[in-house]
Structure 1
Amino acid sequence: MLAQPIHHDSPFPFFYVNAAFSQDQCAALDSLFLQDGNWQHRDGAFYRCSLKDVTENIPDTFQAEVLTRMREITGLPLTNRVLVTAQRMLPGQAIGVHSDRPLVGYEIARLVVQLNKQWQTDHGGVLELFSSPESEAVFSVNPEYNKAFGFLLHVDSYHGVTEAIQPRQTVVFNFWHAANTPELAAHVQALFTDIHFSELPATLNPVATAAESSLPEETTFHAGMAALALHRWGYDETTVITGYQYSAGLSVCDSNDAETYAAVRLADWMACLYRDWFDLARWQILRRELAGIEMFTRLMPTWQLCLPE
């Protein structure tokens, strides 16, 4: 299964396997398109296809084998959560160029399995990869039968599918990073419920005012969210101000106090998740920064979700 993956780094990290599954496994995937079910039809200008959740139709052992191989191939701590969708494109349908950045709680990796027997070049439905939304395609993956394409979701993982001339069938396996789960998404949402920057200590006002006069609004908003996290975790005014300055890029926060150091970095990460997306490279930096540091009581719920063992 998924033997001898061929890796590429451009225009973003991905791999493909020419003969992904056994004959029996392919037959099981083929059967998904013969079953009745609730297909969700997307017929917008940008995204035209039909989708169906088929997770419960995939045997647990099959899912487990795919998950194990994806952990080996990507080297990522993927959770046991797997979502599988069947995708059907009819003649005339296409998918525009887009990137699937992983917001908080979203999946981190996908495996796209093509199930198109006797595919020919004039059948269309080619998966194309782009370096930017405006660029020409820099790599193409033909939807040949039993060919699998895997990639990490990223803000720059631009891809699209050319117009299908013949019907196109695909099964997509979705995987979650252990540090970006739906439980984390709920935790972030709860922390930042009912946002009121007025609840922050008044001593932060002159610092924030000065920052707002010279820094972009998105930077000061991010810093304000980090300060709010620290405040709601119960930290004092000095720590809240330190966190604001760190997240605004006004200081490096080389505190000798381990808890302040850890709290400021976790607050900054929580603000990133709320405002932006799950940046794998940035998460790896956070993990290195907090490696070997004691897990402090008031930070424990957040720490365990952001940096699971």
Structure 2
Amino acid sequence: MSSLRQRSHITHNGVPSLLLQPDYHHKPFPFFFVETAFSEEQCVALELLFSQDNAWQHQDGVFYRCSLCDVTADISATFQVEILNKMREITGLPLVDRMLVTVQRMLPGHAIGVHSDRPLLGYEIARLVVQLNKQWQPEHGGVLQLFSSPQGEAVFSVNPEYNKAVGFLLHADSYHAVTEVSQPRQSVVFNFWHIANTPELAAHIVALFANLSFSEFPAALNPIASAAESSLAEEVTFRAGTAAIALHRWGYDAATIVSGYQHSAGLSTCDASNAETYAAVLLADWVAYLYRDTFDLIRWNLLQHALIGIKMFPRLTPTWRLCLPEYKI
């Protein structure tokens, strides 16, 4: 998991920037918090979002009880750019030039159970939560808790005090929860996307695997797949089969498809001597993993490193550009 960067705060025209002096932590997963997130003027503007006649979505399940409203359009473009740039600086991640901002309201009796919000295909990678609760007291509840596992005790807790912010990276083990509240709790949540796991990529991969059928396998792969299914876990063979389908739909021959299946199933390692075959197999393995599992920063960084210096081949170009986009700060 990528770690949060530690840098000194910056100023603009002599005025301190937002999210100053973040306090970094790496357990139970990478996160930071800031005691004073925004200026008083910015906080007042954010508080006004709760008084507008917005279209609230009410969640009243056993696990998740709160009300949410998308207010992205009400956040000025300038403020969004400032927050994006600061989050890029703090996290060290290449974030896309857009965000989703929601206001969250919890009423007495509301709580949010332990969950991870792992970044599935097209999901956000980072989150910033800003609290707007004046005169908060411990008996009011609404404490953000961070866990190392869904069954364990909280490793770290952050009180929902006014203008305090918490930012964290989302992954399979970013377990967190909010304790039950006895007084109304207000927070603003900023969501950010990694450039290599965008909604556009999600649409592309869903289209790539539309009407997925392993009957598309070339005859040469059938005995290999049958043998693998008798000895390997279903999730492994499904991912390997999905990678093979990607290679087939990209127009590769049977030998490349077999090589891709064996690589994704862990039966063999793809030979790097043929650059296009190597790139195609690695890219197929990655999109199959995304389709079946989550966006994993470590795996993505390994893919990026493996394909450095290899040219973008025509039949792979649409997928390549979405999975490994060029990023300029």
Q: TM-score range by the shorter chain?
A: over 0.9
Alignment partner of 1:190 is 2:195: no
Partner Cα separation in structure 2 for residue 71 and residue 228 of structure 1: 36
Which amino acid is the alignment partner of residue 296 of structure 1? F
Structure 1 residue 81: Cα displacement: 1.4
Cα distance per residue 1:200-237 (max 9 Å; x no partner): 10110111111111101110111000000001000000
Letter in 2 for 1:301: P
Shift of 1:92: 0.8
1:202 match:
219
What is the distance in 2 between the residues matched to 1:47 and 1:240? 43
User: Within 2, Cα distance between the matches of 1:196 and 1:45?
Assistant: 37
Name the counterpart of 2:174.
157
Distance in structure 1 (CA, Å) of the matches to 2:42 and 2:319: 40
Measure, in 1, the Cα distance between the counterparts of 2:237 and 2:247: 15
- Counterpart of 2:15 in structure 1 is none
Return the alpha-carbon distance in structure 2 between the equivalents of residues 5 and 282 of structure 1. Answer: 27
1:58 aligned onto 2:75: yes
The answer for the alignment partner of 1:141 in structure 2 is 158
Which amino acid in structure 1 is aligned with residue 195 of structure 2? A
Q: Which residue identity lines up with residue 191 of structure 1 in the other structure?
A: L
Give matches, 1:69-148, under 5 Å.
69-148=86-165
Cα RMSD, aligned residues only: 0.6
SS at match of 1:85: strand
What's 1:294 paired with?
Answer: 311
Give 5+ residue unaligned stretches, structure 1. none
The residue matched to 1:113 in structure 2 has which SS?
strand
CA–CA separation in structure 2 for the residues paired with 1:294 and 1:62: 38
Which of 220, 225, 229 is the aligned partner of 2:237?
220
Q: Please give the secondary structure, in 2, of the residue aligned with 1:138.
A: strand
Q: Does 1:268 align with 2:282?
A: no
Identical-residue share of aligned pairs (%): 72
1:216-295 counterparts in 2 under 5 A? 216-295=233-312
CA distance in 2, matches of 1:145, 1:291: 46
Q: CA deviation at 1:254?
A: 2.4
SS in 2 for 1:81: strand
Q: What amino acid sits opposite 1:304 in the alignment?
A: R
Instruction: Give 1:183 shift.
Output: 0.6
Tell me how far apart the structure 1 counterparts of residues 319 and 26 of structure 2 sit (CA, whole Å): 33
- For 1:302 and 1:178, the matched residues in 2 are separated by 13
Runs of 4+ in 1 over 6 A off after TM superposition: none
Distance in 2 of aligned mates of 1:204 and 1:128: 48
CA drift of 1:255 comes to: 2.9
2: CA distance, partners of 1:275 / 1:293? 26
Q: 1:49 aligns with which of 44, 58, 66?
A: 66
CA drift of 1:199 comes to 1.3
CA distance in 2, matches of 1:69, 1:255: 39
Equivalent-residue separation in structure 2 for 1:214 and 1:236 (angstroms): 26
Question: Are positions 1:13 and 2:30 aligned together?
Answer: yes
Q: List per-residue Cα deviations over 1:228-270 (Å, max 9, x = no partner).
A: 0001000000000000000000111123000000000000001
Task: Kindly provide the amino acid, as one letter, of the partner of residue 204 in structure 1.
Answer: L
1-side partners of 2:213 and 2:108: how far apart?
Answer: 51
TM-score (norm 1): 0.99
